[in-house]
Structure 1
Amino acid sequence: MAAVLIGFGTYLYLNYATNEIGYMSAYAYISIGVIACVVFLFLCIGAIRENVCCTVTFIVFMILGIIAQAVLAFLLTNGDHNVGSNLANILDEAWENELKSAGAMSIYESSFECCGRASPQDYIVNDRLPPATCFANGDSKVVENLIAIGCRAKVEHFVTDLLHIFNWLAWVLIVLELIVTFLSCGLCNSIRNDRRRSFY
């Protein structure tokens, strides 16, 4: 799960990070994943060494990591609509490029089945006809096939849905880490009891 969050953060960074909020959200997902990997690695090292002091130290680091992850996940969960809106700003750049040279919006229009930045009216206001990608099945001969939904709303909805999924994944990872922390405490206690019994 940590690798999935790192991958999603990288995906956001490469595709949607056009401003400070985009970069921060990408770094937050990557951080949650990296912290989880490091914490589990250290915890495994402590368990393999069967050293009480080492295991307790790693449990403390794990709790600090979980707190940091929970703060990041809380901020991402509460701000997912703002983050989604900011990540959809990439569409504004595509629209500006569309106004300079036709076809810049076609990838969004065909992928998300949408038309223009806010609606097909965006093309008409700029003295242009909506392209074939603005029509269902690319059939521009039938006016009823014109897609009325703008790409900004579609992309923002898509990104917000992705953020919801990965926010839940982050919380599941944090809960699993808490469970592992409690199991680690039990392991630490067991190691201490075994050492104590070995003296008798």
Structure 2
Amino acid sequence: MTSTSTIKKFTIVFGFVCSLLALVLIAFGIYVLSSYRVNEVGSLAAYAYICLGVTTILISLLGFVGAARESVCCTVTFITFLWVLLICQIAITFLLVRGEQTAASHLANNLDVAWEEELNSPGAMSLYETWLGCCGRASPHDYIVNDRMPPMTCFKNGDNTKSENLIGTGCRIMFENYWLILLRAFNVIACVMIALELLVSVISCCLCNSIRNDHRRSYY
């Protein structure tokens, strides 16, 4: 039979891993809010990741205390709150997964702002064009219809001597795909964290049972 100390170690280790994943989700949410001008939909997505992370860390602290003190009362309280939290987290993650495309589209709206700035102040799009390997908002044609030639950043290796070097992909779709990839990656992290929390709840039940058995044996 597995000893109480071994079960306790498993509880603490898996709880620690959950906390690390939670910190990653919090960092991503803060990155979105602090690095870009996001609209209401983008903000909701960012706060959802922060909420997932913060609640996991808070509940994990209770789990750590219960395991460290080998307290049945504290551990049972932790398991109860964890299951309530899991239901909420599963619902939030489900909405995040379902709304990936919508959230990515809204987060990519920053590029529309950059394009408007480009029309008034040439060079505003250069960062996106260099970073994403794209040209214009939807295509190089966006420059032409505005009586401008595509800038050097619209050409491969900055070489505008050959027409075939002109990049035909617009930055809007590239930036949206960038966000879609990020959101999918962090949704996977959220799902892994929830799966580990489910595992922690099972291990915590085993810990609770083991502590009770130890207490019973101590009476004899």
TM range (shorter): over 0.9
Helix, strand or coil at the partner of 1:103: coil
Structure 1 moving runs of 4+ over 4 Å: none
Helix, strand or coil at the partner of 2:160: coil
**Which of 126, 131, 134 is the aligned partner of 2:151?**
131
**Which of 4, 12, 36 is the aligned partner of 2:32?**
12
1:1-200 aligned at under 5 Å gives the runs 1-200=21-220
After superposition, what is the alpha-carbon deviation per residue over 1:102-150, rounded to whole angstroms, capped at 9, x for unaligned?
0000000000000000001111111111100001111112111110000
Distance 1:16 1:76 in 2: 19
Quote the offset at 1:199 in angstroms. 2.1
2:62–2:74 Cα contact (<8 Å) kept = no
Inter-CA distance 171–85: structure 2 relative to 1 (3 Å threshold): same
Quote the offset at 1:41 in angstroms. 1.3
**Runs of at least 5 residues in structure 1 that lack an aligned partner in the other structure:** none
Helix, strand or coil at the partner of 1:128: coil
After superposition, what is the alpha-carbon deviation per residue over 1:69-110, rounded to whole angstroms, capped at 9, x for unaligned?
111111111110000001000000000100110000000000
Amino acid of the residue matched to residue 219 of structure 2? F
Quote the offset at 1:17 in angstroms. 4.7
**Runs of at least 5 residues in structure 2 that lack an aligned partner in the other structure:** 1-20
| Higher relative contact order, chain-length normalized (CA < 8 Å, sep 6+) | 2
Distance 2:128 2:177 in 1: 13
Q: TM-score, normalised by structure 1?
A: 0.97
Percent identity of equivalent pairs: 56
**RMSD of the alignment, in Å?**
1.0
